[in-house]
Each structure stands twice: as structure tokens, then as C-alpha cells.
């Protein structure tokens, strides 16, 4: 495997774990405000991100490559609203999509077909990740926190399973 590609895949493990850490921090803020449904949604999202890191880990190991863990930065912990959290979630998912696309381009440039095939799953996954966050952003904008719709949406978010 190309050295730069291996390094970038290792960085992606870190990005996925940092995403899990961020979403767990968002869940903690939501839970502290008694928005248990939205907190559940974020906890499920955090678990998904950890599973994504595991996929990159397993792929590198299967290829006989070295896995290197990087430090995680402290995530933000204070927010103005649930809407702000989901707007930041959408922005973050777009950032991760950009990282995945960069990895795919690098794999293509180096002729690494196994990595390209593995990344196809993530390309499809990121479409879903962005859509899920965008839908909640738009619904939160429509209903506003002051209405009963906000609590209905919180309850619906609580039904999201792992």
C-alpha cells in the first residue's frame, strides 16, 4: 500500500473516533437538558462512528498494514440549541464526506483497487449520514423548540436503534 494512503487511512480512524467523541459530547448536552430522544439519536450516531473506525482498522490489518492511533481533541460541550447541534452535525458529516472523497481519489491515483472497493461503502454511507442530519435540521427549523412538535420529534429520535 502506498505510504501516504496508509497514513491517510490511519488519520481516518482518528476522524471517525473524533466523530464518535463529538457526538457523545452532543448527547451529553442534550441529556442534561432532558432531551432523551435526541440524546439517544446522538448516542446511536456515536456508536456508528466507532463502527466506521473499526472498518478502517480491520481493513488496514487485513492488508498487513500498521495501524497507528492519534490523539483525540476535546470536543465542544456547550450549545445554544438542539438545532445548532444538528447544524454542526450536518457540517461535520460534510467534512467527513470530503475526507472519504479525498481517500478515494488517492486510492485511485495510486491504483489501489482494494481500497477503492472498501471506500465505496463509505461513499454510500455518507449520503445517508448527510441526509439524516439535514432532515432533522429542516424539521427543527419548521417546528421551532417552543412547539409541541419539538417534543414529538425528540420522542421520534428516541426510537432510533443501533
Q: Which helix (H) or strand (E) holds 43?
A: helix 36-62
Give mean pLDDT, residues 25-38.
96
**What is the residue-averaged pLDDT of the chain?**
94
At what angle are helices 3-32 and 36-62 packed, to 10 degrees?
A: 160
49-54 contacts at long range (C-beta below 8 A, 24 or more positions apart): 49/16, 49/17, 49/19, 49/20, 49/23, 50/16, 50/17, 50/20, 52/16, 52/19, 52/122, 52/125, 53/13, 53/16, 53/17, 53/20
> What is the SS3 assignment for 112?
coil
State the pLDDT confidence band at 145, using cuts at 50, 70 and 90.
low
Which is nearest to 44 in space by CA: 55, 32, 30?
30
Contacts of 19 (CB under 8 A, 6+ apart): 46, 49, 52, 92, 96
> pLDDT at residue 66 above 80?
yes
Count of other CB atoms within 10 angstroms of residue 138: 12
Confidence bin at 118 (pLDDT 50/70/90): very high
Which pTM does this prediction carry? 0.91
- Assign domain 3-157 to its CATH superfamily: Ferritin, core subunit, four-helix bundle (1.20.1260.10)
Q: Domain extents for the chain?
A: 3-157
Report the pLDDT averaged over residues 135-152.
79
Amino acid at each position: 500500500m502506498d505510504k501516504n494512503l496508509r497514513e491517510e487511512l490511519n488519520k481516518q480512524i482518528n476522524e471517525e473516533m473524533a466523530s464518535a467523541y463529538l457526538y457523545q459530547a452532543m448527547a451529553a448536552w442534550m441529556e442534561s437538558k432532558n432531551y432523551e430522544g435526541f440524546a439517544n439519536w446522538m448516542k446511536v450516531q456515536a456508536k456508528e462512528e466507532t463502527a466506521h473506525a473499526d472498518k478502517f482498522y480491520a481493513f488496514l490489518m487485513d492488508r498487513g498494514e500498521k495501524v497507528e492511533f492519534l490523539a483525540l481533541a476535546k470536543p465542544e460541550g456547550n450549545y445554544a440549541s438542539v438545532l445548532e447541534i444538528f447544524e454542526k452535525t450536518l457540517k461535520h458529516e460534510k467534512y467527513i464526506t470530503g475526507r472519504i472523497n479525498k481517500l478515494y481519489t488517492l486510492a485511485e491515483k495510486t491504483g489501489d483497487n482494494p481500497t477503492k472497493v472498501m471506500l465505496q461503502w463509505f461513499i454510500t454511507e455518507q449520503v445517508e449520514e448527510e441526509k439524516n442530519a439535514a432532515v432533522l435540521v429542516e424539521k427543527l427549523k419548521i417546528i421551532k423548540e417552543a412547539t409541541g412538535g419539538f417534543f414529538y420529534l425528540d420522542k421520534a429520535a428516541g426510537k432510533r436503534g443501533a
